[in-house]
Amino acid sequence: MNIRQIQKARESYGIDSWGAGYFGINDQGNVCCYPTLDKNHEVDLNAAIEKMVKEKNVSAPMILRFPQIVESQLNRIHTAFAEAIWNYDYAGKHYGVFPFKVNQRREFIDSICKAGQKIGYGLEVGSKTEFMAALSYDLPQDALFICNGFKDVEFIRLAFIAKAMQKNITVVVEGPDELEMLFDICKESPAMAKLCPEIGLRIRLYSRSSGKWAKSSGETSKFGLSTNEVLHCLAMIKAQGLSQKLSMLHFHNGSQITQIKRLKNAVKEASRVYAKIVKMGFEPRLLNVGGGIGVDYDGSKTSCQSSANYTPKEFASDCVYTISQVCKDEKVACPDIVTESGRIIAAHHSVVITNIREVESLTDENRMQPNEFTDMNLQHKSLQELDFISKDISQKNYNEYYHDAIAYQEELFTLFNLGYIDLAQRACGEKIFFQICQKAIDFSAGEKHQPEEFAMLQKSMVTRYLANFSIFQSIPDAWSIDQLFPIMPLARHSEVPDHKGTIVDITCDSDGCIERFVDRNTTRTSLDLHTPDDRPYYIGFFLVGAYQESLANEHNLFGAIHEAEIFMSPTGQWHIGKVTSGDPIDELLVSRNFELEEMLSAYKLQMQKSPALKADPALEAAFTKDLQKTMHGYPYLLS
Ligand code: PLP
């Protein structure tokens, strides 16, 4: 094995940085996962795919999930707070809740609740549907159950039912109207009054956040109560004699916060609000600092949008320290701290895997056959000029020669439109022009600063890899908000990659492509890829476990892909757990109100009218079978 090349690949794809200890390249040049962070206990992703294909009859595209990573991340947050509380001798506890919206898959929430049992982890919901799902889980006794989001009477009534089920439930109100609804339900009967849930207030902070979701914070945010509204709500609560029910102050300054100083400022401001409210005679014992811990998608550990300039440990330490300092200053008791981290817990646990179906390389397409050029009838001056440029272009003249070549190329198109040259001559001109472009790019790359024109030219001439998946279904944020995810081939890292490529998906949408890739220092416009041979060439999309499935859409009616859970045993043997099939075509059709029986009858009727099939009943029977098979099949391309 070419160990030097493997080390080069580790550095070039940055896997040891964004992998956070969970992903790496082994000495065989294959990408592997260490679900328990033990480097001796690896799952070779290629071996896992092979097992899925051979033993489970499941092929790409698929998601591989590692529930042990979820457990490990939960423990990371929990331990970070436990250590900070210990270090600062903080007189309060930490409670974690997982926000349902980050990944609503039942299997995922199961793994959160299982892993959270030991550390009293709870759930946060933002809609009635999420509430109904969360209510079915038997959470640990003191674990919190938090209702956020905009609510109606039906939603708030669910909180009373949850309270009756002995859930430790808090309704975080977004406005005075929600408080009114809650009071009205309390007044329905003494029994209902007894079931009044705890009340939380979501406060709107002045401190602004950083990153893509900065608009969730600051005075103009859509969420939370202004200072006046907070005072109004406090007065309403007091007037109802429910002051003891106000148990939580909450804020959430947006997801993927890139700068620790923004988080610290928000915590400082919220702690002050908490202290002032305590001094008004209320006893909100919980300060909920929301989510927002950033994931280091590009491994740069900086404040750029796809990274974060801090670790969860630093976040916990700053939170505990800041709150303790403000409380000391204000001479009030320290609150218990609640976190609603989602992205940092869910992102690493799943990998989307796709296979490459086709490679569209301009280099291959434009390769000259031996004697092709000399055989060509070169009576046209533009062709002769292009030929001369391609031979004479150099580091000194590439800029000027490239511009001349553009002019001759345009002349050739004019000649073609006027009927003076044939298709073969046009094709020959295109090939020579391509070679000139390539040489010009090579010369420009030798400059200290590559001129923008040639950087753009280079970008337009990359190889396109057609990947068997839908960006809109599997990594919708890459399309909707230009989110960067680490992407790389899963094998052959002992070989030097010979293409600079971009990824295009199989949807009929020009937005279905990825042309920006992570890099520690900047972003790249292409990915280093190999020329596929007769083995399947798999590409992995990493850190996709947060938000992607909840935001997925079925563009072109490509539905959810197959998925499997993978577990590592204490002795280092791994096995495949639950396998869930992707959405079949019939389910996708039914979801759009198509009636399958009606469709089958319509096919039959049309076939009966077909002269070709009337004459061949066996062919009609075979076609009917094909239609039925496809209807129950997988919408993605078959291997
Ligand atoms: N809490 C609330 C109220 C949210 O809206 C969100 C998501 O934006 C979260 C928690 C989770 O945030 P993150 O996934 O960034 O940790």
Question: Which H, E and C letters describe 147-185, residue by residue?
Answer: ECCCCCHHHHHHHHHHHHCCCEEEEEECCHHHHHHHHHH
Paired with 339 in beta bridges are 96
Q: State how beta strands 94-99 and 499-504 pair.
A: unpaired
Protein residue whose Cα sits closest to atom 7 of ligand 1:
255
Q: What is the dihedral of CA 257, 271, 122, 38, to 10 degrees?
A: 50
The H or E element spanning position 2 is none
For residues 448 and 472, is the Cβ–Cβ distance under 8 A?
Answer: no
Residues with pLDDT less than 70, the chain: 209-211, 213-222, 367-379
**What span, in angstroms and rounded, lies between the C-alpha atoms of 54 and 59?**
9
Q: Is the CB of 102 under 6 A from ligand 1?
A: yes
Give, using CA atoms, the residue closest to atom 11 of ligand 1: 291
For 243, what's the count of Cα atoms within 13 Å in the CB-facing half-sphere?
Answer: 12
CB neighbours of 99 closer than 8 A, spacing ≥ 6? 124, 126, 148, 291, 340, 341, 342
Rg (CA), the chain: 30
The CA 253 to ligand 1 mean position distance, Å, reads: 8
Please check whether residue 558 is in contact with residue 635, taking contact to mean a CB–CB distance below 8 angstroms.
yes
342 CB under 6 A from ligand 1? Answer: yes
Amino acid at 424: A
Task: Tell me the C-alpha distance between 367 and 54, whole Å.
Answer: 38
**CA of 344, closest atom in ligand 1:** 16
Does residue 252 have its Cβ closer than 6 Å to ligand 1?
yes
For strands 350-360 and 62-65, give the pairing: antiparallel
Can you give 359-381 as a three-state secondary structure string?
EECHHHHCCCCCCHHHHCCCCCH
Q: What is the pTM of this model?
A: 0.92
Whether 213 and 256 have beta carbons less than 8 Å apart is answered as yes
Contact 598, 631 (CB under 8 A): no
Record the tokens describing residue 605, joined without a space.
């009727």
Residue 217, ligand 1, Cβ within 6 A: no
Mutate to test the pocket of ligand 1, among 70, 101, 172 (most ligand atoms within 8 A of CB): 101
The pLDDT score that the predictor gives to residue 371 is: 62
Ligand 1 centroid to 341 CA: how many Å? Answer: 6
Cα 147 to middle of ligand 1, angstroms:
13
Measuring CA to CA, how many Å separate 389 from each of 256, 404, 405, 406, 433?
Answer: 51, 8, 7, 11, 9
Residue among 159, 72, 80 at smallest CA distance from 124: 159
According to the model, what pLDDT value does residue 157 have? 98
Pocket test for ligand 1, best of 101, 255, 548, 549 (most atoms within 8 A of CB): 255
169: CA distance to ligand 1 center in Å? 18
Identify the CA nearest to 164 among candidates 185, 148, 181: 185
- Closest Cα partner for 406 from 462, 464, 453? 453
The three-class DSSP label of residue 257 is strand
Residue 137's alpha-carbon distances to 118, 181, 259, in angstroms, are 15, 26, 35
Q: 210 C-alpha vs ligand 1 centroid, how far in Å?
A: 14
Is 491:29 a contact under the CB 8 Å cutoff? yes
Q: Is the peptide bond before 99 cis (omega within 30 degrees of 0)?
A: no
Q: Compute the distance from residue 546 Cα to the ligand 1 centre, in Å.
A: 11
- CA nearest ligand 1 atom 9, residue: 291
Atom in ligand 1 nearest the alpha carbon of residue 292: 15
Number of helical H runs and strand E runs in the chain: 26, 23
